[in-house]
Structure 1
Amino acid sequence: MLKLNLKIALRNLWKNKLITTINVGGLAVALASFILIIMYANYETSFDKENPNYDNIYIVGITYPEFKTYYTAAPFAKAIEQNFPEVESVGIIKGSSFELAIKNGKNTLFTNNILQADYDAAKILNITPEGGLIKPTGDVERLSYLSKESMKTLFPDKKDNKPEMVGFGASNLGITGIIAGSIKKNLHSNFTFDGVSIANELGEGDNYDMNDFSIYLQVKPETNLAGLEQKITDLYRVELLKGKTGQQLIDEVKGISTFLDPLSNLHLKPKAGNNAPYKILIALSVLGILILVIASINFTNLSIAQATKRAKEVGIKKVLGAYRFQLTTQFLVEIFMQCFVATILALILAELVLPNFNNLFQTHLSIWRIDNDLSWQLPLILTVITVIAGIYPAMVLSGFKPAVVLKGNFSSSKQSYWLRNGLLVFQFSVAIVFIIGLFIINSQLKYMSKEDLGFTANEVVYIKNITIFNDPVKFEPVRERILRIPGIKSATVATFIPGGENGVNSYTANGLKANIDFVDVDFDYFKTLEIKLKEGRFFSNDFKTDTANAAVINESAVAKYGIKSPIGQIIRGCNIDYKIIGVIKDFKTQGFENAVQPTIYAIKDPCGGYKMQIMLKIEENKMAEALATLKAQWLEINPKDGEDFRYEFLDELYGKLFKKQEQLQSMFFAAALLTIFIAILGLFAFAKYITNGRIKEIAVRKILGAADVQILKLINRSFFIMVVLANIISWPVAYLLTKMWLGTFAYRIDLSLLPFVASAIITILLTVLTVTVQAAKAVKANPVDALKYE
């Protein structure tokens, strides 16, 4: 019976080659998209799952009135370990803040991220060097490891895992150290690094004013997390108030609390951080499911539309004794064969598209990995699609009554008619939502690219550097040497560059104490970035006090503290009474998604970071020559950085803030194209079926004098109504979704009617064109050919 069903299936599929091609092709394209998306979802939701303690690991975060952060004080780790028996282990880590050169003879490696971890943190986070995790003992303060790739760069011929002596920084500094061995660089982890430095303890001598570390806990299974969270908050408040008095301080500490964020949250939706990856994943998943649903709808629609051609076949088989179950099985086998072929084609298409997909989302996905979850997910998807797309058509076909169809009185039911039209409207509704979304995303990105940022990143070069220039006197000779090079207009150094994270500290002004951002700068910082002054003045060498207690604040800081006349006012922080000498206009240092934060800029800041980020403003037509000269003279200009001159363009670094939105744009562009393509395929086949079913009607109308245009108008009418209905349904949905998306931006466009009208025009034109092309053949046919058997 199975063999017979296969033969019949092949015969019917071959007989309807065009419909089969459309069905299989549309489904293959949709499945290829879904395969890529499900692989991406598997990848994004499995970060650090190799860790045996994955479900019991949490990071300690601090909630301030203005923000949340994962940065805490090192002493708090010991306090937690000593007070809570439900916590099995506590560890602390710290990332590096600058690029470090490591050398072995002529081989040089630039590391961007050396992770510092104490022994307990390495155990908790499953950071295990080759040969196992060893606890530093005796006189050995730290054990340093580099990734296998890094070790290969420094020691190309190395075959063992023995310790090696290397140089750090410029060759002329003579700083050396030992690399204890290699460590696996796990790209599928929240803790990526070029190397790891493991210590017995980190943060020795630190106090609760220095929030530089991240604390990780491994808790016992079945721990009451809400209760533990509250107890940690109570302990933190006690620690902050030790040795301190004053009702104002007590009230401030009451406004601070802690939270525990599970390891499973850190990659996609951290409580303190950007949850853009989670939004991208949800958007991708919804797109993938919708594309697959649309393809399945096509399948169902065309199978139902083909029902009348199979009516006599079903009637004869039933007369000869075939049961409904047998007929249902036969039709499901036909559908399964089409789905199976579509799956094979989908894998081929996915493999072809995968390099571009990996490049867009910065992943390393592979279809053919042994441990790939697709090995069980794909058969499941194939089965589900076969059932969803085939069960209703199979039931319709197998349910025909022999007496009716063999008399020639068969016609499709009103139920099937409404279902077909309803599914077609749904297809176009989804496609219209994608088109509108694409228009609005493009408009927002265009706005972001053209809107005034408040500063100029073009022609600014960021020089990577390991020398600390907190003292302006130390940077002045370097600055003078740099400015001698033709083409360089200005030079400055700061703790942070636009596009990166700023520091946060507590400042008091106008009787209000608040946590605001700080950036420690040097002279010409504002000039180099072309930041606009609102009132007052910038830092200047002409005023000696500027290096002692002068500060510049932005408009948001003025609003935050409610200062009416800021110039000359005092803002206190880090035990210094800063005098406000200028107010700058807000500039979008963190892009468009986050509102500009209240920020203070100062030259002297004992509580600040290291001023290492050198920025140069260089004339565009002299850029190449200036950079070449800098490279040749860098050893003389900045001896501690020596021969290791390297740079990046600030506009490219700042542009990384828009990466996620550009990914979303690419997703919607692909989704809009796919949904329109699949919907048009279905519309083409459906129009062919409708037209073929009305050939005799068309012939009679032509004989009675109807013009070709009138007949085309008649055929297009029902499809036109369905597309208009699809627009009416989809507009409110698209409006709500795009409004929610735009709500994630602090600076955004206003929704206009244009994308909605444009989507209607596009879908109506495509529908009319598709139906007209398909119907034109029937309209131009000779009426005699259609009526000669009547």
Structure 2
Amino acid sequence: MFKLNLKIALRNLWRNIGITSINVGGLAVALAAFMLLMMYFTYETSFDKKNPNFDNIYIVGRTFPDFKTNYTPPPFGKAIKENFSEVVAVGKMKKGGFELAVSSHTSTVFTKQQLFVEYEAAKMFNIIPEGGLKKPNGNEFLYYLSKPYMQTLFPNKKDTKPEMVSIGSRSAEQFGEVRGSIVPDSHSNISFDAVSIVNEIGTGESYGHPNYFTYIQVKPGTDIASLELKINNLYHSELTKNGMVDEGEDVTETNAFLDPLKNQHLKPKAGSDANYKVLIALSVLGFLILVIACINFTNLSIAQAAKRAKEVGVKKVMGAYRFQLTIQFLIEILMQCLVATVLGLIIAEIVLPKFNSLFLVHLSIWNKENGLIWQLPVILLFITLIAGIYPAMVLSGFKPAAVLKGNFQTSRQSYWLRNSLLVVQFSIAVIFITGLLIINSQLKYMRTQDVGFNPEQVVYVKNLVYYTKPEVFAPVREKIMKIPGVKAVTVANAIPDGSGMGGNGYTVEGKQHSLSFLDVDYDYFETLNIKLKEGRAFSTSFQADAVNSAILNEAAVAKYGIQNPIGKTIRGCNIDYTIVGVINDLKAEGFEKAVEPTIYAINNPCGNPKTEIMVKVDEQRMAEVLAILKSQWSDINKRDGDNFRYHFLDELYGKLFAKQEQLQSVFFAAALLTIFIAILGLFAFAKYITNGRIKEIAVRKILGANDLQIFKLINTSFFVMVMIANLISWPLAYILTKKWLETFAYRIEIPILPFVLSALITIMLTIITVTIQANRAVRANPVDALKYE
């Protein structure tokens, strides 16, 4: 019986090869997209899951009235360990501030992610060097490089013995010992290419040095809410005990919190959850694409039901039960889904390199960790049931007497279901088209909007030297300015690339608020072409500028509500600054975050050292200037002279748009894919409808109807369905795009044009598709359709 049913299934599929190809092809393309997005979802949601302590690790953070941060003072971790028995381990980490050159006799690598890790933190995060994790002796630093870097420096190394390397410029003759290599987990939030393991970091530093990441590991089953409350109370008492708050001052303005390790990659409390929202959007997108393909499958299967009616009638007369027929048709559908899955895997493998390039990942279909091994059978079963259960029930439910008498007619319920599914299909397509157009509008706005500074033609030069005082940087500026084509040179403790700045409390006219601070040098505003709203920029003509002058941005002035700020005093870091200027706000952190109220000063004892050199270059002489800088760098910057390295500031700033550009690319692909699948289904459905109305068309032509009237007749029902789809999808598209736009502090108002364009696109495609399919029936000779009547 199985063999017979298999033959019938194969013959039936071959007889309707056109519909079968559309069914299988559309489903295969959708499955390929769904598999890629599911692999990406699995990858993004499984960071650090290899860590055996994954569920019990938390980072300690702090909440201020205006922001949250994961940076904590070094003594706090030790206090937590001493006071709470449910905390089994505490470890601190700190990121290095420099890109260091590490050299052997033959090669050089640049460590961009230097990490200082306590021994307890290394155990907690499974940071195990090759040869095993060793506990440092006393204040000893155990320095390790990543495996790829170690192989570059010592390609022929076979043993595990330490090696001597030069750190920084070779001319500085600073040497260190590399104890070995570590294979870094590329799927972890803790990333590094060089790591120093020590017993304790931050020794001797107080609660006034919150520059460390503090992680705790708790006992399984710990009440985290209760522990968080106790840690917060401890933090307040520690601040009071160590003199960090004045007597009677409200300590509750700063609170400690715990954030689980599983949140750190996608939705940290002290950070943006934009990545999480984008991931959810991509996951929903992938699911909707699969739903469209399943709708296509269901619609076409129901449309083909009439051709199987006599087969069902004969089988029922011969004694077949409805259950047996349902299983038979489900197996047929399973066969098609299985072929579609294999084709989907092939398509996914072909597209994967482009996908990896777009999302900057290294996914592989044949990697067991991506979850496809168990996901594919589930997906196959899911689509078989979703796409096949209703058609199978319809086919198996035909009444033998009716179909064998020749008066079989599909039910009105099937008619409404087919039309409803087509409406849903086009509704999803319209949402994608509208979403794509609105994303394009927001990205165009971001690219063309004035960001408050000009990063173009600005070269950011890597550097190891502290230029905290202007007189130290003055000789460097003078040498660089002598190069033909250089317009301006400055140094600061941060560059406007979205990396953020430090924060501190400042008081104006009795009002205290937390401000971001940026430590700059002369010509900072000129180099970046930052416009002054009022007052003046820092100048060597005013000696006080290097001591206690400050410039605020518009957001800071608005925060304090200062009227006529020039000449007024702002106090912070135990210095009374005189406000000498106000600048326009600059979107240094992109469009997703509101501009931080910021203070700019040359002298700031609370800030980080000024190391970031920026050079404004004439556009016509960029290559010449870079060549001269490279050749003269050993004289300009003796400490780092061997290794001249640079980036273009506009490229660094442009990376802030990367996630949204990814979303744009994915929505573009999704819009094309959904339109393609919908048009495939529409094409086959129109063919079915047209074939069913051949005699009606012939009669109308005999009675005098012209071709245009018949085309209008056939298109009318599809036009109505597409319009209904647009009316349904517009509110949904509006709500979804509004939610997405709300993730931006600076955004467009939702325009009407994308909704109008999506309607025009879908209507035009529908008319063209249906007209092409109906053309043969319209052009046919009426005699051929009616000669047997």
TM range (shorter): over 0.9
2:75 corresponds in structure 1 to 75
1:683 corresponds in structure 2 to 682
Q: Is the 8 A contact 1:520 1:601 kept in 2?
A: yes
2:100 corresponds in structure 1 to 100
1:364 corresponds in structure 2 to 362
Separation of aligned partners in 2, 1:506 and 1:249: 17
Q: CA offset at residue 279 of structure 1?
A: 1.0
Separation of aligned partners in 2, 1:204 and 1:372: 42
Describe how 1:94-493 pairs up with structure 2 within 5 A.
94-138=94-138, 141-244=140-243, 250-251=249-250, 253-493=251-491
Separation of aligned partners in 1, 2:218 and 2:572: 37
2:91 corresponds in structure 1 to 91
Separation of aligned partners in 2, 1:370 and 1:278: 24
Separation of aligned partners in 2, 1:272 and 1:246: 23
Q: CA offset at residue 364 of structure 1?
A: 0.8
Separation of aligned partners in 1, 2:358 and 2:507: 45
SS in 2 for 1:366: coil
Q: CA offset at residue 6 of structure 1?
A: 1.4
Q: Is the 8 A contact 1:489 1:619 kept in 2?
A: yes
Taking structure 1 as reference, are residues 452 and 694 closer, same or farther at Cα in structure 2, changes over 3 Å only?
same
2:23 corresponds in structure 1 to 23
Q: Is the 8 A contact 1:90 1:217 kept in 2?
A: yes
Q: Is the 8 A contact 1:164 1:179 kept in 2?
A: yes
Please tell me the residue identity of whatever aligns with 1:334: E
Deviations 1:613-662 (A, max 9, x none): 00000011100000000000000010011110010000000011111111
Separation of aligned partners in 1, 2:113 and 2:500: 16
Q: CA offset at residue 244 of structure 1?
A: 3.6
Separation of aligned partners in 2, 1:426 and 1:51: 43
Describe how 1:612-651 pairs up with structure 2 within 5 A.
612-651=611-650
Identity of aligned residues (%): 66
Q: CA offset at residue 215 of structure 1?
A: 0.4
Please tell me the residue identity of whatever aligns with 1:71: Y
Q: CA offset at residue 106 of structure 1?
A: 3.4
Separation of aligned partners in 2, 1:234 and 1:631: 54
Q: Is the 8 A contact 1:241 1:250 kept in 2?
A: no
Separation of aligned partners in 1, 2:43 and 2:689: 44
Q: CA offset at residue 80 of structure 1?
A: 0.4
Separation of aligned partners in 2, 1:246 and 1:26: 66
Separation of aligned partners in 1, 2:361 and 2:524: 36
Q: CA offset at residue 246 of structure 1?
A: 7.4
Please tell me the residue identity of whatever aligns with 1:266: Q
Q: Is the 8 A contact 2:479 2:636 kept in 1?
A: yes
2:751 corresponds in structure 1 to 752
Separation of aligned partners in 2, 1:614 and 1:745: 30
Please tell me the residue identity of whatever aligns with 2:484: P
Deviations 1:723-781 (A, max 9, x none): 00001100011111111111111111111111101111100000011000000110000
SS in 2 for 1:501: coil
- Kindly report structure 1 stretches of 4+ aligned residues shifted beyond 6 Å: 245-248
Q: Is the 8 A contact 2:208 2:244 kept in 1?
A: no
SS in 2 for 1:102: strand
Separation of aligned partners in 2, 1:40 and 1:751: 29
Q: Is the 8 A contact 2:145 2:182 kept in 1?
A: yes
Q: CA offset at residue 372 of structure 1?
A: 3.7
Describe how 1:5-44 pairs up with structure 2 within 5 A.
5-44=5-44
1:661 corresponds in structure 2 to 660
Separation of aligned partners in 2, 1:404 and 1:760: 42
Separation of aligned partners in 2, 1:236 and 1:152: 45
Separation of aligned partners in 2, 1:37 and 1:491: 45
Q: Is the 8 A contact 1:687 1:775 kept in 2?
A: yes
Please tell me the residue identity of whatever aligns with 1:325: F
Separation of aligned partners in 2, 1:365 and 1:617: 40
SS in 2 for 1:340: helix
Give the alignment's TM-score, normalised by structure 1: 0.99
Q: Is the 8 A contact 1:147 1:184 kept in 2?
A: yes
Q: Is the 8 A contact 1:328 1:394 kept in 2?
A: yes
2:502 corresponds in structure 1 to 503
Separation of aligned partners in 1, 2:295 and 2:161: 61
Q: Is the 8 A contact 2:164 2:176 kept in 1?
A: yes
Please tell me the residue identity of whatever aligns with 1:574: C
Separation of aligned partners in 2, 1:99 and 1:479: 21
Q: Is the 8 A contact 2:207 2:242 kept in 1?
A: no
Q: CA offset at residue 248 of structure 1?
A: 7.1
Please tell me the residue identity of whatever aligns with 1:381: I
Separation of aligned partners in 2, 1:247 and 1:636: 49
Separation of aligned partners in 1, 2:142 and 2:95: 16
Q: CA offset at residue 162 of structure 1?
A: 1.5
SS in 1 for 2:249: helix
Are residues 1:556 and 2:555 paired? yes
Describe how 1:37-56 pairs up with structure 2 within 5 A.
37-56=37-56
Are residues 1:702 and 2:708 paired? no
Q: CA offset at residue 330 of structure 1?
A: 1.5
Deviations 1:35-62 (A, max 9, x none): 0011111111110011111100000010
Taking structure 1 as reference, are residues 249 and 157 closer, same or farther at Cα in structure 2, changes over 3 Å only?
farther
SS in 1 for 2:478: helix
Q: Is the 8 A contact 2:552 2:583 kept in 1?
A: yes
Taking structure 1 as reference, are residues 349 and 459 closer, same or farther at Cα in structure 2, changes over 3 Å only?
same
Deviations 1:93-147 (A, max 9, x none): 0112221111112311111001111111111111111111111014x51101101
Please tell me the residue identity of whatever aligns with 2:130: E
Q: CA offset at residue 249 of structure 1?
A: 5.7
SS in 2 for 1:492: strand
Give the alignment's TM-score, normalised by structure 2: 0.99
Separation of aligned partners in 2, 1:185 and 1:364: 15
Q: Is the 8 A contact 1:129 1:184 kept in 2?
A: yes
**For structure 1, which segment, 325-334 or 542-551, has the greater mean C-alpha deviation from structure 2 after superposition?**
325-334
